[in-house]
Amino acid sequence: MGGREKLASIKTEQLDVIGHTELMEQSYRQAPFITSYAREQVVVDHAGQRLVKKEHSVWPESDLKQADSDFALIVTPEGGVVRSGGGKDGPCGAANLDAAREALALGPLSVLLTAEKASDLRFGPAETLRSTAHTVLAFTWNGVPVRVLVNRDDDLPDAVETTEEFRDFWFYWGDVQQRVYFDNWRWVSGVEYPSNQVTERNGAVWMSTQALDVAFNGAVEEKDFAMDAKVAAVSAGMKGWAAAKFSAAQDKALAEGIDLFLGSWNTTIVKQADGVVILETPISGNFTEGILAEAKKRYPDTAVKAVLSTSDSWPHVGGVRADVAEGLPVYILDLNEPLLDRMVTAPHAIDPDAQERAKKAPVWKIVAGKTEIGTGANRMVLYPLRGASTERQYMVYFPERRLLYASDTLVVNDDHTLYDPELAHEVEQAVEREHLVVDTVYAMHQAPVAWSDVVGMLRKTAQG
């Protein structure tokens, strides 16, 4: 790459980067995935172990009013902040902090220097990567096993592999195998530098970045790293998605025996004559344990007889491993069974959860068509949506209440427009197809609204 002394002499790094990320956690039809895009100006201060990234992102999955956004991520040894266009600092997420620190330690310019300092640096078994023989360097960084695959022909590090539990949406998969390929090498100031980095997680290409311009040892502006110290300290203590907790504070009774708990992720406890049904166990096992505890508190003499998981979005099914560990029957859409089978059996040895310890087989109740649960006033009927953007979701209808739960298809904006008219349109099509009479509708991220209002918003959208 240019020699140890040359790498060690690089104190700062300035990058102009373009990249894209596959939104595997929430793509409507799985692969091929919806993609987000970003243009970044990155300054890395290797000497101070600091990083600032100014990003313009385009998120096509959002509506047009929210697709473009600008923010800055600043990370130092004290913590990290995200600064929006308004200039206000907010604590960065645990995953942002982890990713920045991993880039500082295991990025192209630093990974071999980090390996050199490791007390357990050793050779691993040789491997063939892309039909080429590679020497393998193995060591541990911050408790994470790392392998560097060095090309035997050109002596360049072609890939860096880790096994770790991430604190972004990938935490649902437990011990994730990550491989970052280094490619498109450029000769910059006497150093071989891989301008392209492609990240695989569990064997699937997740993200790719291309540095359009690379410069070393430029002056850094101290003001670029200035941030609210108190806010940064908050980020240092964040736990990630696994620590998400259920709250019963916003309890809204939709009818007798139907209690909606509003929040970032809505969930519902439904009392029927022969047991309790939990409608959605999202986010995490910790969150799900809270939901189940609330059901037991409300109905101490009535067992939970079923869980309804209506979508394949990773955050929405984040509690399913906890459901399986409890031995609960879970109603899932037929198309989602392969994904959930893999998620339930994914190894979680790094940070064992209830399912890692129990290793129970799932009790799936497959929803392939109209499916009824229970009798009486709170009878529920499940209907697969089967739309172009909703084929991985099903809706839940309460006939006697004329109440509809529309999975993850409905959000009403503050200006009384629909966040995604296509999703709501497909729900309307399903309602008409099944001849349902609906007065009220709600969803994973939407409080109850009049169905007539949603239809009105659709009509207005159709008129342009």
List domains and CATH numbers for the chain: 4-241 (2.50.20.10), 244-462 (3.60.15.10)
CA 296 to chain centre: 29
pLDDT by 10s per residue, the chain, length 464: 999 999 999 999 999 999 999 999 988 888 889 999 999 999 999 999 999 999 999 987 665 556 788 999 999 999 999 998 778 999 999 999 999 999 999 999 999 999 999 999 999 999 999 999 999 999 999 999 999 999 999 999 999 999 999 999 999 999 999 999 999 999 999 999 999 999 999 999 999 999 999 999 999 999 999 999 999 999 999 888 888 999 999 999 999 999 999 999 999 999 999 999 999 999 999 999 999 999 999 999 999 999 999 999 999 999 999 999 999 999 999 999 999 999 999 999 999 999 999 999 999 999 999 999 999 999 999 999 999 999 999 999 999 999 999 999 999 999 999 999 999 999 999 999 999 999 999 999 999 999 999 999 999 999 87
CA-based nearest residue to 341, from 326, 357, 363:
363
pLDDT for the residue 87: 84
pLDDT for the residue 84: 87
pTM value? 0.94
Burial pattern 243-278, b for ≥16 Cβ within 10 A else e, equals ebebeeeeeeebbebbbbbbbebbbbbbbbeebbbb
pLDDT for the residue 65: 58
Type of residue numbered 262: L
β-pair partners for 460:
none
SS3 105: helix
Which positions ≥6 away from 325 have C-beta within 8 Å? 285, 353, 354, 355, 357, 358, 360
Using CA atoms, how far apart are residues 178 and 166, in angstroms rounded to an integer?
10
